[in-house]
Structure 1
Amino acid sequence: MLERLELEAFLTLAEELHFGRTAERLHVSTGRISQTIKKLERQIGAPLFERTSRKVALTAIGRQLHEDLRQAHQQMEAGLERAVNMAGSIHGTLRVGYSAPWNGNLMIKAADAFHSRHPECDVHIREVQLHDPLGPLRTGALDLQISEFPIDEPDIVAGPVVSHEPRALIVPADHPLARRDSVSLEDLASTPLVTIAGAIPQYWLDQHYPHHTPAGRPITHGPAATYWQEVLSLVALGKGVSPTCFRAAQYYSRSDLVFLPISDAPPIVYGLVWPSDRENSRTRAFVQSLSELTG
């Protein structure tokens, strides 16, 4: 029989593939996580993770165990959620995420407002990685998050819009476009576009990283990054340019990068999303708190 820490440590490590982040999420030491996983592996009689100095990866047995336990864990969580909903109380833990630092600030404000109304419910906040924007929602690591729209998934609710942000183009400081005050969407045809690789819906990529300008001119797609810092580095090294939110300049300003407004681009729309099968009194109350801040 699995102990609770063994279950949570295994599932969290299988998601994070990093002992430090797993320990941080579970509020225990890295050593405790390592000992717990080793104990579980002795109980099973086989390694569950491949560990090297550079990475952590699931073994074949680990992948199968993760799939089996994840489904069972989700069923247990769903049962507890239904019980909470029936009781009508708002307590426990709500896990919320954000995809950009300016939305992280908004999440913190909303969490403070929410917690003042519902002091028995803790709110845990974390950043959603660029390459897997919906994965944490689907695995149960998050209950709700702010993401860039469009989101059109059968298992995800696209909730209220929280903001509209002007678009910008990040270019190297020595790029010919860097001497201008702004650019247009047609300028995207003149230089490669740094894109994103990962578990990202194609319709979302087409919206934010188009293949043609409004006039029909082809846009070349250059290298693809998996993390935001990679995007900045690729642009700085002259491998391409990247669209972003103009507000990003306040958070990622560098001497080797220039953030230019895109004069004719529609704004980036940010909104709340959550799993359709896990909506509950906590998520509804948090949506209300956040909507009042942005309303």
Structure 2
Amino acid sequence: MVDLDTRLLRSFAVVAREGTITGAAARLHIAQQALSAQVQQLERAVGATLLVRTTRGVRLTRAGDELLAGIKPLLCDLDAVLSRVRATAGGRLGRLRLVCKPHATAEFALDVVQAMERDLPGIELELVTVSTLPEELAALREGTADVSFLWVPTGDERLRSARVRRDRRVVALPSGHPFAARDALSLAELADEPVIVPQVVVSEDVVRHWLAEPRPDGRPAVRGPAAHRIEDRLMLVARGRGVWFAPEPLARYFPLPGVVWVPVTDVEPSYLAVVWMPGAPEALIAHLVEHVRGLTGWGDRDGDRNRDDDGDTGG
């Protein structure tokens, strides 16, 4: 099998199109002698004379005509492949599978998908919703999804992330609570309130993050009952079994009877992040981050793109 250099084939095609070595050399920005040497090298490789010189330039032999007819579609196909490779490497082409919980992304998920499809028509986006954090993490770990949206920290050191939204935190109280009518509360005022614990397998450090520990006076939170699903945590709140700290978007997504939401002034905010495993298509993910930040209004004051080595329990 003959191993042909595509550079030689391209030079031959230019010579055939120009009809002269002089014109082809000028088009290729190389010396005429170098181009003649390339044609001779190609002829030796294929074992046939491809060009004959005339007083007006060059003429293809029958073998040259046959080679030209055969390589034109090959070179076009190769150019198309290389174009797709470069587009994929630059994040302008490819497939991105997103998995998310609606309560975390309801305010922008559809908009960002539509914006990316409009601005990058070569990409294929899949958006799948799940109900719980374990389902979301499993999709990333098992490779059935490329990227997700989680409040960080996430509890998995393998995950990489880029923050896209800063959410102030609020506390869910039973509607009959003495503080239910307040416009805002401090952690000191909530010091004696048992806090519903997210029942998710994560590190203790992450649990403390969602319980707003340590408190300003250094004491731990009073721990109340644990619950896995958000709906179950809010049911415990409504029954007066404890309070629950959450990012503010959850208050808009879960306006349940028997529960009121009050901002907490001195607790650290929550950060929603685009999260992915190593090996995911990072060029596409970079475009995703850019589009989400544009929709959420992320700015310099919110923080920088980073890698978070901790885990999320809040959703």
**TM, length-normalised to structure 2:** 0.59
Preserved contact between residue 164 and residue 289 of structure 2 (Cα < 8 Å):
no
Q: Give the aligned partner of residue 258 of structure 1.
A: 260
Shift of 1:172: 0.5
Alpha-carbon deviations, 1:74-105, whole Å to 9, x = none? xxxxxxxxx99956435554221334535233
What's the Cα RMSD here? 2.7
Find out whether 1:139 has 2:142 as its counterpart: yes
Distance 1:233 1:127 in 2: 23
Structural mapping, 1:111-150, within 5 Å: 111-132=113-134, 134-150=137-153
Q: State the structure with more CA Rg.
A: 2
Amino acid at match of 2:137: L
Amino acid at match of 1:258: V
Q: Give the aligned partner of residue 180 of structure 2.
A: 178
Using CA pairs under 8 Å that are at least 6 residues apart, name the structure with larger relative contact order, 1 or 2.
Answer: 2
Preserved contact between residue 182 and residue 260 of structure 1 (Cα < 8 Å):
yes
Give the direction of change, closer, same or farther, for the CA distance of 1:152–1:277 in structure 2 (3 Å limit): farther
Unaligned runs of 5+ in 2: 1-81, 299-315
Alpha-carbon deviations, 1:89-142, whole Å to 9, x = none? 355542213345352331211110111133343322234544425332111232
- Select which of 218, 222, 243 maps to 2:245: 243
Give the direction of change, closer, same or farther, for the CA distance of 1:105–1:182 in structure 2 (3 Å limit): closer
Preserved contact between residue 164 and residue 274 of structure 2 (Cα < 8 Å):
yes
Preserved contact between residue 104 and residue 149 of structure 2 (Cα < 8 Å):
no
- Select which of 82, 99, 121 maps to 1:97: 99
**TM, length-normalised to structure 1:** 0.63
Amino acid at match of 1:189: A
Distance 1:128 1:204 in 2: 22
Preserved contact between residue 131 and residue 199 of structure 1 (Cα < 8 Å):
no
Alpha-carbon deviations, 1:238-291, whole Å to 9, x = none? 111100123333221133111011021222111211112223443233233323
- Which consecutive segments of 4 or more residues in structure 1 shift more than 6 A? none
Identity percentage over the alignment? 24
Distance 2:133 2:173 in 1: 21
Amino acid at match of 1:285: H
Unaligned runs of 5+ in 1: 1-82
Distance 2:174 2:266 in 1: 21
Find out whether 1:202 has 2:204 as its counterpart: yes
Q: Give the aligned partner of residue 159 of structure 2.
A: 156
Preserved contact between residue 85 and residue 280 of structure 1 (Cα < 8 Å):
no
